[in-house]
A = this chain, B = another copy of it.
Amino acid sequence: MNILEKITNELDMLSKSERKVAEVILASPGTVIHSSIAALAKQANISEPTVNRFCRRLDTKGYPDFKLHLAQSLANGTPYVNRHVDENDTADEYTSKIFESTMASLELARKSLDANDINRSVDLLTQANKISFFGLGASAIVAHDAQNKFFRFNVPVVYFDDILMQRMSAINSRQGDVVVVISHTGRTKSLVEVASLAKENDATVIGITTTGTPLAKECNIVLSVDVSEDTDLYMPMSSRIAQLALIDVLATGFTLRRGSKFRDNLKKVKDSLRSSRFERKD
């Protein structure tokens, strides 16, 4: 844990003099990492041994070790956190906040994913007769993107962002087909129905959704992408980006499973675009 947070947490477990030290440190941690124990003691109006005891109470070996921890906490000042956009933010501010929140969500999403489930999903996808990606709203974009990736693999792949097409397609599915259903909330009724229809028709259903939702219950495998709710502006933001990163993971897993020869093929697909582009000069 970040040592600055730790100091804040343990503030009331400290003695009077130790708290003085804590306050001086919290007031300007940046200065402290360049101070000797004597200088800090003087600043806080207490003795050197007190500083030393303070350091030990925070589970560090002593003052120099404490400074090391402090320096680490200060580096990159708590990397990425979900900071909310404020009414009066400048363009620079809200840009930074959004990018940072996005990164924080990706961090979170990665933690919620289970490598085993990914492995099993990749297994199923590589063996599938047909792959379908279904999503609605923002998740439709993710399904669309998945199609854009998987069609390169030369496997039958479809994507639908239309409820009726999804239903019809689900009813038509059979053993050996894989249906990937994407929904952040996992509560969209028609999608849950589609998942259950596909399952009834013997398709394997992979859900890209939040843990414990109605959709998750209908799936054979759940790839849980838990990100903090996108409450800021009532629009899906981080959730779809985390889902897209997961699509990248699945696509990558797919190509790795297929071996190096297969990857040459991907290069050909890409190279086929060359004539439609302006040449690079470099």
Contact = CB atoms under 8 A, between A and B. Distances in A.
Most buried by B among A118, A138, A234, A280: A234
A248 B256 contact: no
Interface string A72-113: 111110011000010101111011101100110011011001
A261 interface: no
A90 to B, nearest CB: 7
Given A95-B110, A96-B110, A188-B276, A267 B148 contact: no
Interface string A130-147: 000000011011001100
A189 interface: yes
A235 B251 CA distance: 9
Contacts of A140: 144, 148
A252 B231 CA distance: 12
A165 interface: no
Contacts of A92: 115
Given A141-B144, A141-B148, A266-B233, A98 B248 contact: yes
A72 B245 CA distance: 29
Contacts of A75: 71-73, 75-76
A269 interface: yes
Given A141-B145, A189-B278, A102 B106 contact: yes
B187 A278 contact: yes
Query: How extensive is the interface on chain A, given as a class?
Result: 35 or more
Given A241-B244, A269-B234, A95 B115 contact: yes
A204 to B, nearest CB: 18
Contacts of A187: 277-280
Interface string A231-257: 011110100110011001101110110
Nearest to A152: B235
A103 B111 CA distance: 14
A263 interface: yes
A253 B68 CA distance: 40
A31 interface: no
Q: Lowest 10 CB-CB distances: which A-B pairs, in order?
A: A75-B75, A72-B75, A92-B115, A187-B277, A91-B119, A234-B270, A99-B110, A187-B278, A91-B115, A234-B266
16 contacts: A76-B79, A94-B249, A94-B253, A94-B256, A95-B113, A187-B278, A187-B280, A189-B277, A189-B278, A214-B278, A233-B263, A234-B269, A235-B251, A240-B244, A241-B244, A244-B244
Given A144-B144, A192-B278, A240-B244, 8 more contacts: A68-B68, A76-B76, A95-B113, A95-B249, A152-B234, A188-B277, A189-B277, A241-B245
